[in-house]
Structure formats: structure tokens, C-alpha cells
Structure 1
Amino acid sequence: MDSLWFRRFGTEESGAVRLICFPHAGGSAASYVPLLRCLSPRFDALAVQYPGRQDRRREEPAADIAGLAGRIAAALRPATGRPYALFGHSMGALVAFETARALRELGAPAPLRLFLSGRGAPTRQPGPHDRVPDDGAILATVRRLGGTSAAALADPDLLELALPVLRADYRALAAYRPAPGEPLETPVTVLTGDTDPVVAPAEVVRWRDFTRSGCEVRVFPGGHFYLDHCPAAVADVVLDGVRAIQEAAGR
């Protein structure tokens, strides 16, 4: 695996299905450590490290969602010879979706399943929660959503590091428009918290319009960062979703 883009928090699980996880706005690969620990050794689980954060902090953050996904897809393409799945949370759900589309354009085998968490389906106009005009609005949004990112912003030094990345990520979200294209041939599992303040149920179910292979919705107790509190339950959903595809294919 490309060491610039992908982080494995543990040992490589030879022969296991590979799961690639995409972080939320302002997030890093490390945000997936609790989930990845629950998935090992059942999956060879890795997380994407976007430019501009942690060990890539000297790089410019990505300017747009589709462009970022295209770069990730190019790095991931050589590793798609074994079964794999994609998991994205919040902004990461859009990046995972666009990565699946970019991999299709590259002629790569399709992922077994796409797991899209904490995000409604793409629309032709940015949602109100993606339009944040200044730093004050960004910080208010992050604090309202909660999670580890909100707690970290109480530290002035961490805030100084986090703000450039958050600005770039929210600019990319506000500018995102899904390009026209055929639905994916990959089944989708959508995961959401039952009290998520930014993801309406109607937005969640519209993901079914972006695949020809079925879309299921799984609801968990909690808000936008519900998965911080139940990584084992989320890992079980991932396991069941991949296992169902493998059994249907007779693998």
C-alpha cells in the first residue's frame, strides 16, 4: 500500500478483505483507530491520510472533493486486486463515494460494499451545514457536531494547527457538485446517528439513487459522531455487510 496515503494501525492481515476508511472534515487517519482495532484481524483495515494534517501537515489541503478522490483512487488502484470495501464518515463519505467512481473510471474491480456514514446523498447545491462563511462559523459548527475534534479545539495550539485544514475542507464541501454519471454497481450501507443534527432521514435514503445494487440504512443511538461511542457495533455492521456479499458470490 502507498505509504503516503494510507495508514495501518496494526499488523497487515494477509488474505483478509481490505477496508479503506476516509476521515471527516478536519479529521485525520488517526480518527479511525478505535474502529480499526475492532475490525482487526477480521479485516486488513487502513485509513486515508489526507494532505495538510499530522505527518502531511506541510502539504496543502485538497481544494476539491473529486480531485482528492482521484488522487486517492490512483494510489489505491494497484491494491484493488484483492477484495476490498470503502468506509467514509461525514465528508469522508463523499470522498469514499467519489473514490469508488474514480476507481471505476480507472478500470479497477469494484469494492465489495460502500459504507457511508454521517452524510446525506450528494445534491446539486451545498447543504446549509456546508456553507460556513468564516472561522467563527466553522468553530461553531464543529462544536455543535461534537466528537474529538471539538474537544481538541479548546487547546489554542491545536486550534492553530486545525483551522487551516478545517477552512480548506469546508471550502471543498461548499464547492462540491457531483458530476453526472451512472449509478455504481456496488451495494451501499448508510450509517447514521438517530440524533444527528445535520443529516436528515430523507437525505440518507437518497443514497439509493446512486447505486444499482441495493442500499440499506443502519441507525445508531447518538449524534453526528455516534461511531466514537460504538465502534464495536459499527464493526459488526461492516463485517455483516461484507460477509453477505461474499456469501452471495459463493466466496
Structure 2
Amino acid sequence: MTGTTTPGADVDRRWFKRFGRTGPAETRLFCFHFAGGNAALFRRWPQDLPWYIEPVAVQLPGRADRFTEQPYDRMTPLIDDLIEAIHPLLDRPFAFYGVSMGARVSWALTHALRERQLPLPRALFVAASVAPACDDGQWEWDGRDDGLEGYVREMGGTPVEVLDQPELLAGLLPTLRADLTVLSTHGFHPSTPLDLPVHAFAGTEDPEAHPDRMTDWSRETRAPFSLTPVPGGHFFDDAGRQQVVRAIVDHLT
């Protein structure tokens, strides 16, 4: 594909948020949020990235301005529809950055693009997600005495005003449950690793995706792999976010 494309009539804009960034860029950075989250996670990225890297946040159904849409609970239909939506935006170099569930979605999307012989990302950046090779059928949110709500409270990242309002929390849990089901039912184990760089970001105090558990992302590619430990837990604070942004810029520049 040639030429340039910006979100317009030929792009389903429900899927993509640019948060005010305008003008051409050399590389698009598609950003995928965590389970139960939304594209607003990346609202500040346009001001942190140089002009030649355009962040495009992916918004999955079932949240924010797509709240009335049914969230996906399986990976395959999610990836099929996402490819259709993202295809017009693959007309220039691009990369993927995914957080937690978003890491797995971007990884599965990369494999699907390769299978369809479509353009591939320059690099895959994954954060706060156990490597696929570590999947053993056991999931942190299953079998808890305090249920999914306990998992949400333990992991952090959910605003206090949501946790303290039962009706708001009740509105979040169905989408979160669907998102987590996308992960637990995927069971995808590709026989051929990717051929593009993979860079991982792991919270040093993350009980779910500690750096030791993210090193196995190296098995997902035959190209270079690197890992950056980020101080903190599963959800990076502002200093951690800036560390991630700097590393991505270094890799893409």
C-alpha cells in the first residue's frame, strides 16, 4: 500500500483515538489498553512522543464511548474485526504497544497479519503481561474467594471512586470478565515465532507479570529481544510511563 491515510471516511473511527494529534508522522504507534480499561490510558502520549511517531490508541467495544456495544469474549472474532478496522491505517511504518491484555491482543494481531500476508509492525512492545509460553491454564483471577472484584482491588489501576461506588463497579465487571475470557480461552501456540523485534516492560513489583515471568517473551521471536524493568507494580505510574515512552522512542528512532 502507498500514500498516506488519516482517520476519515474509510476508517472506522470507533476503534481509534488520536487525542488531538494532527499532521503527518513517519511511524504510527498503535496502543492497546489493558483488560477492563479503555483508550484514555494513552491520552497523554501525544504530548510525550516526537512529531514523527503518531500514537493511535485502540478502543475495544464495551467501554467508554463504545459502552453500548457488546465486548468480545473470544480472541479470534476480535482479531478478525480489528484487522478489518486497522487495515486502512497500515499504509506507513507502524509498531504495536500493548499493556497486559493489550500485549496479548497486539501479539495475536501480529500473527494474524503475518498469516494474511499484510504489513507487519516494525516492533512489538509488550508490558505487564506474562509471556504466552508461560500459559498453563491457571489464571490469577480464577478460583478466588473474593471473586473478580477482589482481583480488581488487588491489582490496582482502578480509580478509587469506581471501587467505592457499587453501581460503577458493577458496570465495570461484565466488560472486565469478557476481556479476561478473551485471554483464558485463546490457547494459541504458534509453531513459528515472529521475525520482528520484541521489547518487554515489566514492573519490578508486579505479582502477575514480574520481569522473571516476562523474559520468556524472547521465545516469541527470532529477532532481537530486550526487557526493561520498570519500578512499581502492574500499572505503571507517570514516571514509569515516561520511561516506557523514552524506550519506545529510542527503539523506533
TM beyond 0.5:
yes
- Residue 105 of structure 2 corresponds to 95
- Structure 2 unaligned regions, length at least 5: 1-6
1 CA distance for matches of 2:154 and 2:144? 16
- Structure 1 unaligned regions, length at least 5: 244-251
CA contact (8 A) 1:118 1:191 kept: yes
CA contact (8 A) 1:131 1:170 kept: no
Q: What SS is found at the alignment partner of 2:202?
A: strand
* AA partner of residue 210 (structure 1): E
- Residue 200 of structure 1 corresponds to 210
1:176 to partner: Cα distance:
2.2
* AA partner of residue 129 (structure 1): E
How many residues align structurally?
242
Deviations 1:78-127 (A, max 9, x none): 22120100000001100010111111122222111100000111145334
- Residue 154 of structure 1 corresponds to 164
Q: Which residue among 164, 171, 177 is the counterpart of 1:167?
A: 177
RMSD of Structure 2 on Structure 1 (CA): 2.0
Larger deviation, residues 103-112 vs 79-88:
103-112
CA contact (8 A) 2:204 2:210 kept: no
Deviations 1:168-199 (A, max 9, x none): 11222221211434111110000011000111
Q: Which residue among 112, 116, 124 is the counterpart of 1:114?
A: 124
CA contact (8 A) 2:28 2:93 kept: yes
List aligned pairs for 1:188-227, cutoff 5 A: 188-227=198-237
- Residue 247 of structure 1 corresponds to none
Return the TM-score normalized by structure 2: 0.88
- Residue 93 of structure 2 corresponds to 83
2 CA distance for matches of 1:66 and 1:131? 22
1:139 aligns with 2:149: yes
Return the TM-score normalized by structure 1: 0.88
CA contact (8 A) 2:141 2:148 kept: no
Instruction: Name the structure with the higher helix share.
Output: 1
* AA partner of residue 231 (structure 2): P
Deviations 1:1-21 (A, max 9, x none): 330211111122403310000
CA contact (8 A) 1:186 1:213 kept: yes
2 CA distance for matches of 1:37 and 1:144? 31
Larger deviation, residues 220-229 vs 208-217:
220-229
